[in-house]
Structure 1
Amino acid sequence: MSFAELQVCAVEAADAAGGVCVVRCIGGVARAGQVFAAGGLRIGLRSIERYGRTVGFFDAGHVAKVHFTGPVVALLARGQVLTYVPPGGHALAELEAWLATGPPLLEEPHPEQLRALGTNGMQNEELPDGVRLRWGRVALAALDRADRPEERPYVRAYLMQSFGPGGDGDPDRDPAALCRDVLARFELTPAEAAARARIWRELPRPEILRLRHIKNLTRCLAPARPHLAAADPLAAAVDAWAAVRPGLP
């Protein structure tokens, strides 16, 4: 299974309607009519030219001049990677079936490509909520396969903020589970973090980075906090970190 990825070599022309770029296909097969993600935005691949003639597709390892639609073309930069976005999530069921078999990620899609597909799908507001949630699970599966557990709280927090807690028993949107996961990643207590934050400019770089990592992770607690019972000890712990966060570097 292969999903197209294009790397921008040069932007030759661009305006409000689109533009012309020279791109290299670095994965899969790129076809005219496909939609690609450029960050959180979408661009359409209108046509492909190779050796002075129009072609319908080109594959990995080859370079082509392509015509994109969409104003975001003017913002593209050399080296930027564009990832194919399946229309309407039609490839979602295939991906879910593939992930369920449990193979190592030694074949396409590459872990980073799989994560990009999942992230783009869950953030695509044109899709139904149920489909976006399924794409979110693909993104989480990609992080597991890529051995990047440190990114899981950010995806889970996005899903909870966008769709609320998992009343259907979805463990990825369990407010208490998310809070426990985040809090377990902190090696300091709120009081210790606050004390270090007061003198953070005097700390060695690794300590500063640790405080910044904690500050970033505390953002993941916010979507879960309204769903914790007032008497829940987790609520007090989350509130303690919320009070410390503004002072962290």
Structure 2
Amino acid sequence: MSIAELQVCAVEAADVTGGVCVVRCIGGVARSGQVFAAGGLRTRLRGIERYGRTVGSFDAGHVARVHLTGPVVALLARGQVLTYVPPDGHALAELEDWLATGPPLLEEPHPEHLRWQATFSMQDERLPEEVRLRWARVALTALDRLGRPEEQPYVRRYLLQRFGPGGDGDPDRDPVALCRDVLARFELTPDQAAAQARVWRDLPRPDIVRLRRIKNLIPCTEPARPYLAETDPLAAAVDAWTAVRPGLP
């Protein structure tokens, strides 16, 4: 069963007791009385209005005006996703266990929704650092399940920027590992990329997309570069790609 997800379209009113939002259901079925998570905070869906009348539920693809409880409503922003929390939870620890070993959950989150929730939570400065780091690992695992490991360097870049290298040997915050991973994804040398960039308008579309992908990934090495030894060949390789980037399409 798909887990219920609500995306905020607008916050119409909010105070310490709750508020009213216009939301779109982007997964599952949202029902009055359900509890939803916004990062580490919770809110209860206490009423649903559609076309001027009260309804008990609405499903994916539809928009509704909803009444939510709690001060968290005042913190919501357009585009934010609220994830249904089943009666037995789906605490961070449960999600970690599920991703690691696959025990069944009452309702399993779609990896894309899980990635969004985990990414939002790792950036939530109201949460303790250790909790944010755990959410980051959930985001990385979700990207694996989505078959999009090429997006993992962006998460690891964020971790290095915000928290620095992991002193406990955390591979997700290893500057050397991040740079090696990024450069290993490039199928060209810096000289080859620079040569193609000079005539990029004449290239086939796949080659242009490849150059743009390289351009987008190069900045992932920026927070890692200060931690590389100047005599390390990896540092020279990162610098070479950084110099090429401005000329890429």
More deviation, 181-190/201-210: 201-210
- Residue 197 of structure 1 and its aligned partner are, at CA, apart by 1.1
Once the two structures are TM-superposed, the CA of residue 25 in structure 1 deviates from its matched residue by 6.5
Task: Check conservation: 2:3, 2:27, Cα contact below 8 A.
Answer: no
1:140-159 aligned at under 5 Å gives the runs 140-159=140-159
Aligned partners of 2:150 and 2:64: how far apart in 1?
37
1:48 aligns with 2:47: yes
SS in 1 for 2:234: helix
Amino acid at match of 2:25: R
After TM superposition, give the deviation of residue 85 of structure 1 in Å.
8.2
CA distance in 1, matches of 2:204, 2:181: 27
Provide the C-alpha distance between the structure 2 equivalents of 1:22 and 1:178, rounded to a whole number of angstroms. 38
Residue-by-residue CA offset, 1:131-190 (whole Å, 9 max, x unaligned)? 100000000111112221111111111111111111111011111111111111101100
Structure 2 CA distance, aligned partners of 1:181 and 1:22? 39
Distance 1:158 1:85, change over 3 A: farther
How far did residue 32 of structure 1 move? Answer: 6.3
Using the alignment, how far apart are the partners of 2:23 and 2:221 within structure 1?
A: 43
Q: Do 2:38 and 2:82's aligned partners in 1 also have CA atoms closer than 8 Å?
A: yes
> 1:104, 1:32 → 2: CA distance?
20
Runs of 4+ residues deviating >6 angstroms:
15-18, 42-46
Q: Which residue in the other structure is 2:176 paired with? A: 176
The residue that corresponds to 2:25 in the other structure is: 24
Aligned to 1:84: 83
Instruction: Please name the residue that 1:161 is paired with.
Output: 161
Identity over aligned pairs, percent: 60
Which residue in the other structure is 2:213 paired with?
A: 213
Following the alignment from structure 1 to structure 2, what is the Cα–Cα distance between the partners of residues 119 and 189?
32
- Write the letter of the residue equivalent to 1:21: V
| Partners of 1:130 and 1:85 in 2: CA distance | 23
Paired with 1:218 and 1:211, the residues of 2 have a C-alpha distance of 11
In structure 2, the gaps of 5 or more residues are none
Is the alpha carbon distance of 1:125 and 1:94 closer, same or farther for their aligned partners in structure 2, counting shifts above 3 Å?
same
Distance 2:30 2:118 in 1: 19
Task: Give the 3 Å change call, closer, same or farther, for CA 220–53 of structure 1 in structure 2.
Answer: same
In the alignment, which residue of structure 1 is the partner of 2:247? Answer: 247
Change (3 A) 1:53 1:206: closer
- Report deviation, 1:83: 3.2
The corresponding residue for 1:191 is: 191
Root-mean-square deviation (Å):
3.6
**Match for residue 119 of structure 1?**
119
Alpha-carbon distance, 1:93 to partner: 0.9
For 2:35 and 2:97, locate their aligned partners in 1 and report how far apart those are by CA, in whole Å: 26
Between 199-208 and 154-163, the greater mean CA deviation after superposition: 199-208
> TM-score scaled by structure 1?
0.77
Q: Is the 8 A contact 1:36 1:84 kept in 2?
A: yes
Counterpart amino acid of residue 177 in structure 2: A
Deviation of the 1:195 alpha carbon:
1.2
Query: Distance between the aligned counterparts of 1:104 and 1:191, measured in 2?
Result: 50
Long gaps (5+) in structure 1: none
